[in-house]
Chain A
Amino acid sequence: MDVPAARVAGAVFLLVSISWNRMGPSDSRYKMAFVIATVGIVLVLGPDILSPSDLLDRFSGDDASQDMGVITVHFAAWAILLSLGSMLTIRGSRVYGAISPTTLIFGWLLVISSITVAMIFRPGPNLLDPMGGIFSIWAALSAAPVILGMIAGLIASVAIVAWSEYSEPPLLPTPGLDDEERLYVREIVENHLEGGLD
């Protein structure tokens, strides 16, 4: 498998892992989501990460801004920092329990690192050029047609889903619970109420 094909396959695996992760613990595919995501990351980043010396040369080369491998590694670096930082920041805040200053500080350090890597550290001859980071905003604006295309595709997707759901015959009403099922549900609810609210 050549490098572009491996990257495309890795991206497909990552999208599949997101879908499987969203299916929830009741489906067996949910358990495989993390494995598939790992395989996807290895396929996307592996060809470039496995030759680190070559990668460093490419990062500071004149053609770095056109090198898909360099851009992918740069993208993955800030994305992973942002994901971990956001997770820690949310965990350390008051929203999900007691506030944890250490977790919050560490999370924010990762988020700030992500902003730095994304905005200031740019692949090219001047790796740490703040003006290069600001310039990248204008470079990023050239993606406006792609973003508009994605929005149009999203609208088309919603239309396809709505049409397919409306075109399906309505389902029959679900039969009520029998005595055994009713007792089972009652037992679960009672256990949760006794264990959590007392």
Chain B
Amino acid sequence: MSGSPVEGFTVGFAISLLWLMIHVLSTYRRGNTPGSLIAMSVIFSVAALYLLASMPHESISSSLRSLMYCFGLTPLIVTPFLVRITASVSNEFDLIAFREADSVSDSE
């Protein structure tokens, strides 16, 4: 289904770096976002895009297809966490629980 393992690895590596660049550029704040972070993320992303451009189109699309099939396991992975939340009896935002926690911290 997928291309060679090296090509699959390159596609995955490029996805993460492109995501970093998109995140850094879209959340840019003057004075808060370091210039070196923008420069490094853009340089690495351009390098990743260059690697992707040198790969056959079919390898990239088959790697993406494999990834999407793999993500199909997500509902099974999430289910135990949802079962735990459903079975949980604690209430994180209960005012009584807040007061009890407050009184415990006061007594300490």
Contacts and interface: CB of A to CB of B under 8 A. Distances in A.
Q: Is B truly associated with A?
A: yes
B27 A23 contact: yes
A157 B37 CA distance: 10
Nearest to B14: A153
Name the prevailing secondary structure of the B interface residues. Answer: helix
Interface string B70-91: 1111111011001001101111
A71 B69 contact: yes
Nearest to A15: B22
Interface in B5-27: 5-17, 19-20, 22-23, 26-27
Nearest to B94: A97
B68 interface: yes
B93 A97 contact: yes
A172 interface: no
Which of B2, B89, B95, B99 has its CB near the most chain A CB atoms (within 10 A)? B2
A68 B61 CA distance: 8
Contacts of B36: 163-164, 167-168
A142 B71 CA distance: 12
Contacts, number: 189
Contacts of A151: 12, 16
Name the prevailing secondary structure of the A interface residues. Answer: helix
Contacts of B99: 197
A183 interface: no
B108 interface: no
Contacts of B26: 15-16, 19-20, 29
Range class of the A interface residue count: 35 or more
A115 B76 contact: yes
A148 B12 contact: yes
A-B pairs, top 6 by smallest CB distance, nearest first, are: A149-B12, A153-B16, A145-B8, A143-B70, A164-B37, A143-B66
A143 B67 contact: yes
Contacts of A19: 22-23, 26-27
Contact of A136 (B63, B72, B88): B72
Contact of B44 (A142, A146, A160): A160
B12 A140 contact: no
A151 B92 CA distance: 32
A71 B7 CA distance: 20
23 contacts: A65-B1, A82-B74, A89-B82, A90-B82, A93-B85, A95-B91, A96-B92, A119-B72, A139-B66, A143-B8, A143-B70, A145-B6, A146-B2, A146-B12, A146-B63, A146-B70, A147-B67, A149-B8, A152-B12, A160-B40, A161-B37, A163-B40, A164-B36
